[in-house]
């Protein structure tokens, strides 16, 4: 099944998460950019790792580190960016096992997968005494992705929440109300509206309204929010068990499958071969359907505010709305892609490392949001912030309102990224969704098998 993954700071995060699911082994080399700089005698060093990322992401982190070091005499923060072919998480785990890890790092894999190994430092005592990082300064669902057995092992300092993006101009051309309040509130309403835009020419899909949620995008990663909008969940963190094959989840996939049959000729391959159904070019260079006014609505995250204009849209006005509620759901929900901060177990100067993480949680997050992506999540970040690219294209008022909307979505986000076997389960869910989309297996059977395998893996780890 063809999908369009989320590029995260120049890397397809979907591919990164697939890679970290493999077993770790000791690695001899670590490819990275090194901004060591001169170190004054007596300075306490904080070695800070990045999992990868674009040049602007790296440069901004270096600027943040430099400013922090200048204002905190006796501390030198050094930034390393992973650039090698080896998997970042394998390198990190090898260095932790060898006793020479960095003092702190950005993670793109849930801290839960490291916490269950005993590979991270608990942060609760540092948080309680901090300026920015007290527990109540973080959205509850986000902080839950960092907590295991009563301890907190990471800080979710950036998170791009999700929304339904839509082409406001195209709505108005068709005489459809285009204000946010009029956007569909239920899956049935979204399905009905989608038909107004979908157009086939033989076996080629020329235009689409909305393509069902497990067929495009990052479907396995997005599944928890679709499940939540139908009153269910994928992983029950409180009881440490998977609930993949619940009745509400079976109902969800049956709903999407019938939508595929009704509107998309029952054939996901025809859909995939007809274009790149999202905001990014396809793997064969197909132009993004949303900017080319071939796709009226899509589920994606706040990071697209920075990426949308890499391909100039054929329309001016887009807007965003909450995810509609499913047949068994009761209230809107959202989801998110996070960037976490963490400290490995056994480091020296954990206190100095946490001081830098506390700085990154507000001042650093603001600097990164201005130049790259990642909505700041900490409550000490004031409202009224906006990405410069959206200000340039849509004006300051809209850019600030859109940012505030995405920040509010974090408050209703469903807990996710909170399983000790997150990457393993994501792969199993992706396999199940591909089988269902290609009609190789019915939803109930596919989900039951994913449930069996994921629960067994979880129990073996716990």
Give the model confidence (pLDDT) of 130-183 as tens digits: 999 999 999 999 999 999 999 999 999 999 999 999 999 999 999 999 999 999
pLDDT in tens, 256-295: 999 999 999 999 999 999 999 999 999 888 999 999 999 9
Nearest to 429 by CA among 255, 242, 282, 174: 242
Give the SS3 label for residue 75.
Answer: strand
Helix (H) or strand (E) holding 59: helix 55-71
With 0-12 CB in 10 A as exposed, 13-18 as middle and 19+ as buried, what is 55? exposed
DSSP state of 207: E
Dist CA 354 CA 352 (whole Å): 5
Angle at 301 between CA 267 and CA 430, to 5 degrees: 40
Is 264 in contact with 211 (CB distance < 8 Å)?
Answer: yes
**94 secondary structure, DSSP code:** H
238 CB neighbour count, 10 Å cutoff: 9
CATH superfamily of 10-160+337-407: Periplasmic binding protein-like II (3.40.190.10)
Count of all residues that appear for the chain in the document? 462
Tokens 């020479």 -> residue: 100
Report the C-alpha gap between 18 and 20 in whole angstroms. Answer: 6
- Residue 218: predicted pLDDT: 81
- Is 403 in contact with 366 (CB distance < 8 Å)? no
Are the folds of 10-160+337-407 and 162-335+419-461 the same? yes
**Residue 371 — very low, low, confident or very high, per pLDDT cuts 50/70/90?**
confident
Q: And the tokens for 300?
A: 């994606």
- Which residue(s) pair with 300 in the sheet? 163
Reported confidence tier of residue 372, pLDDT bands at 50, 70, 90:
low
pLDDT tens-place string over residues 387-404: 888 999 999 999 999 999
Tokens for 125, please give them.
């005592």
Give the CATH superfamily of 162-335+419-461. Answer: Periplasmic binding protein-like II (3.40.190.10)
Contact 104, 137 (CB under 8 A): no
- Residues paired with residue 75 on neighbouring β-strands, in sequence order: 44
| pLDDT interval class at 51 (50, 70, 90) | very high
Q: What is the mean pLDDT of residues 91-110?
A: 94
Residue 156 has a pLDDT of: 97
Of the candidate ranges 24-33, 214-223, 228-237, the one whose mean pLDDT is the lowest: 24-33
> Across all residues in the chain, what is the average pLDDT?
89
User: Residue 32 has what pLDDT?
Assistant: 59
pLDDT band at 212 (very low <50, low <70, confident <90, very high): confident
Question: What local confidence, expressed as pLDDT, does residue 34 receive?
Answer: 59
Q: Is the pLDDT of residue 193 over 50?
A: yes
Q: What is the 3-state secondary structure (H, E, C) of 104-172?
A: EEEECCCHHHHHCCCCECCCHHHHHCCCCCCHHHCCHHHHHCCEECCEECCEEEEEEEEEEEEEHHHHH
d(CA 426, CA 445): 17
Question: What's the rounded mean pLDDT across residues 198-217?
Answer: 90
Please report, for the chain, the start and end positions of each structural domain, with discontinuous segments joined by +. Answer: 10-160+337-407, 162-335+419-461
Query: What confidence score (pLDDT) does residue 413 get?
Result: 95
Distance of CA 41 to the CA centre of its chain: 41
| DSSP states along 406-433 | HHHHHHTBPP-S--TTHHHHHHHHHHHH
| Model confidence band, residue 427 (pLDDT cutoffs 50, 70, 90) | very high
Q: How high is the pLDDT of residue 43?
A: 72
Find the mean pLDDT for residues 34-48.
65
- pLDDT given for residue 395 in this prediction: 95
Question: Who contacts 218 (Cβ-Cβ below 8 Å, separation ≥6)?
Answer: 3, 5, 6, 14
pTM: 0.88
Judged on CB neighbours under 10 Å (0-12, 13-18, 19+), 330 is exposed
Distance CA 216, CA 211 (A): 7
User: How many angstroms separate the CA atoms of 322 and 295, rounded?
Assistant: 18
pLDDT score, position 388: 86
């Amino acid at each position: 099944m063809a999908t369009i993954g989320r590029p995260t700071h120049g890397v397809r995060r979907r591919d990164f998460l697939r890679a970290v699911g493999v077993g770790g082994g000791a690695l001899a080399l670590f490819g990275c950019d090194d901004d060591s700089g001169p170190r004054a005698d007596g300075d306490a060093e904080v070695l800070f790792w990045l999992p990868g990322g674009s040049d602007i992401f790296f440069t901004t982190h270096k600027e943040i580190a430099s400013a922090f070091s200048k204002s905190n005499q006796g501390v030198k923060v050094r930034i390393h960016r992973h650039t090698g072919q080896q998997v970042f998480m394998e390198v990190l785990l090898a260095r932790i096992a060898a006793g020479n890890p960095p003092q702190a790092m950005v993670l793109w894999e849930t801290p839960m997968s490291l916490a269950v190994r005993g590979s991270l430092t608990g942060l609760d005592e540092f948080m309680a005494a901090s300026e920015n990082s007290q527990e109540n300064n973080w959205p509850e669902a986000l902080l839950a992705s960092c907590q295991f057995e009563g301890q907190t092992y990471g800080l979710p300092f950036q998170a791009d929440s999700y929304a339904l993006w839509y082409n406001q101009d195209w709505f108005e051309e068709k005489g459809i109300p285009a204000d946010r309040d009029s956007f569909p509130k239920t899956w049935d309403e979204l399905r009905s509206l989608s038909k107004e835009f979908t157009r086939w020419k033989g076996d080629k899909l020329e235009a689409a309204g909305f393509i069902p949620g497990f067929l495009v995008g990052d479907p396995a990663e997005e599944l928890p929010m679709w499940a939540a909008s139908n009153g269910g969940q994928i992983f029950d963190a409180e009881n440490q068990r998977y609930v993949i094959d619940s009745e509400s989840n079976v109902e969800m996939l049956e709903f999407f499958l019938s939508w595929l049959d009704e509107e998309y000729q029952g054939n996901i391959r025809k859909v995939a071969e007809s274009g790149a159904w999202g905001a990014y070019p396809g793997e064969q260079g197909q132009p993004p359907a949303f900017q080319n006014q071939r796709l009226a609505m899509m589920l994606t995250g706040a990071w697209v505010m920075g990426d949308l204009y890499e391909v100039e849209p054929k329309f001016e006005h887009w807007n965003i709305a909450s995810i509609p509620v499913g047949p068994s759901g009761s209230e809107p929900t959202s989801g998110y892609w996070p960037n976490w901060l963490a400290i490995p177990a056994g480091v020296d100067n954990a206190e100095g490392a946490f001081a830098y993480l506390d700085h990154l949680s507000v001042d650093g997050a603001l600097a990164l949001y201005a130049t790259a992506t990642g909505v700041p999540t900490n409550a000490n970040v004031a409202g009224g912030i906006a990405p410069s690219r959206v200000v340039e294209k849509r004006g300051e008022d809209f850019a600030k309102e859109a940012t505030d909307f995405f920040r509010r979505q974090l408050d209703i986000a469903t807990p996710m990224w909170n399983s000790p076997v997150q990457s393993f389960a994501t792969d199993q869910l992706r396999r199940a969704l591909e089988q269902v989309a290609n009609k190789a297996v019915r939803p109930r059977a596919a989900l039951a098998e994913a449930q069996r395998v994921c629960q067994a893996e979880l129990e073996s780890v716990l």
